[in-house]
Amino acid sequence: MSGKKEMYTDETKGVLQKRFTKFDGWEIFYRPKMGKVVPDFLCELALEEKKYRVIVNIKSESMVSQSDVKKIANGAKSLAGKDIVIFAKILVVPSNVTIPATIQKSIESNKIEVLYLKGV
């Protein structure tokens, strides 16, 4: 893993641990292999007979592309199921990222949250 991506991975983990707490029942997995889908992080909560999942991908470069959006959107579809609800899709990006208007519309239509990190 590149040093830059590793910085964002550490910072992302800290943010996720504060937002999706163990106290509330969330588990956070780093790079879980879920068939062909390998998100950078997967947060999971089991409640009654359902599982709620948060799919997190990290983009350490300063440009977001349509393939980045497709990767997280398609990954979320693959990880959903009858009793598995996708609670959130989060794309982690550097604070100085460039998101073209067409990509921003795609992010919004796919209900992807963009989390801006400064890097450590």
- The CATH number linked to 14 is 3.40.1350
What is the tally of structural domains in the chain? 1
Question: Are residues 34 and 56 in contact, defined by beta-carbon separation less than 8 angstroms?
Answer: no
At 119 the pLDDT is: 60
Looking at residue 92, its amino acid is V
C-beta of residue 16 within 8 angstroms of C-beta of residue 117: no
Give the residue among 44, 33, 119 at the shortest CA–CA distance from 88: 44
What domain range includes position 106?
3-117
Name the nearest CA neighbour of 45 among 23, 26, 19, 65.
Answer: 26
Tell me the per-residue pLDDT of 67-101, one tens digit each, with 9 for 90 and over.
Answer: 999 999 999 999 999 999 999 999 999 988 889 99
Residue range 16-52, pLDDT digits in tens: 999 999 999 999 999 998 888 899 999 999 998 999 9
Q: What does pTM read for this prediction?
A: 0.91
